[in-house]
Amino acid sequence: MMKTSFNTSEKMFDRSNSGGCAMKLQVVGIHWSDVYKDIARVPREFRRDISGAEIPEGTICKVTLGHRATYLSVRGQSEHGNPAIHLDERTRKILGVNEGEFVAVSFRPAWYLGQFMWAWSAADPAYRIATRLGVISVLLGVIGFVLGVVSFFK
């Protein structure tokens, strides 16, 4: 794995991002096994929402870096405790950041719509296909219910 140096003298908190408290984290490449999984790996001590509450591992969050945001599954990073956010290249391009940059990062746990949006547009086909099949199943169920009700009254 690539060695990364961390400048811990950087300002760690920035209140200019959307009125909340955003942490200053260094953007680092993610391990090859996590590429195209729509996740961000962040050490536990930096996995906090804008109110300062700890975010449980695996939570789908709206991750904002600077002025761009996307939904990601936020997971832990046990290899080190440095102020870093590990992202794959696809996610870095979406968020408009480069490896090695220090950026203001904020996490907001997603509600059901955000979780749905994450799964619907996931890079990993396992999440994306399962979500789309689920939506088709619900729609077919509603159509079947409506047809059943209509036939009952005829």
Q: 130 and 106 share a domain?
A: no
pLDDT of residue 21: 62
pLDDT of residue 121: 92
Burial class from Cβ neighbours inside 10 Å (0-12, 13-18, 19+) for residue 137 reads: exposed
Indicate whether 3 belongs to any domain: no
Length of the chain: 154
pLDDT of residue 97: 95
Q: 53 and 106 share a domain?
A: yes
Q: What is the percent of the chain where pLDDT is above 70? A: 86
Query: Which residue reads 């079947």 in tokens?
Result: 144
Q: 148 and 98 share a domain?
A: no
Residue 106: other Cβ atoms inside 10 A: 22
- Cα distances from 125 to residues 38, 110, 133, 142, in angstroms, run 11, 21, 12, 26
Q: 107 and 137 share a domain?
A: no
Indicate whether 116 belongs to any domain: no
pLDDT digits (tens, 9 = 90+) for 9-45: 344 444 444 444 678 999 999 999 889 999 999 999 9
Indicate whether 8 belongs to any domain: no
Q: 40 and 97 share a domain?
A: yes
Q: 24 and 78 share a domain?
A: yes
- CATH code at position 35: 2.40.40.20
Q: 103 and 133 share a domain?
A: no
User: How many Å apart are CA 152 and CA 74, to the nearest integer?
Assistant: 48
Helix (H) or strand (E) holding 91, with range, is helix 89-95
pLDDT of residue 81: 85
Tokens of 76: 């832990």
Q: 134 and 98 share a domain?
A: no
In 3-state terms the chain splits into helix, strand, coil percentages (rounded to 5) of 30, 30, 40
pLDDT digits (tens, 9 = 90+) for 103-153: 999 999 999 999 999 999 999 999 999 999 999 999 999 999 999 999 988
Q: 35 and 74 share a domain?
A: yes
Q: Per the structure, how many domains does the chain have?
A: 2
Average confidence (pLDDT) over 77-93: 92
Boundaries of domain holding 54:
13-111
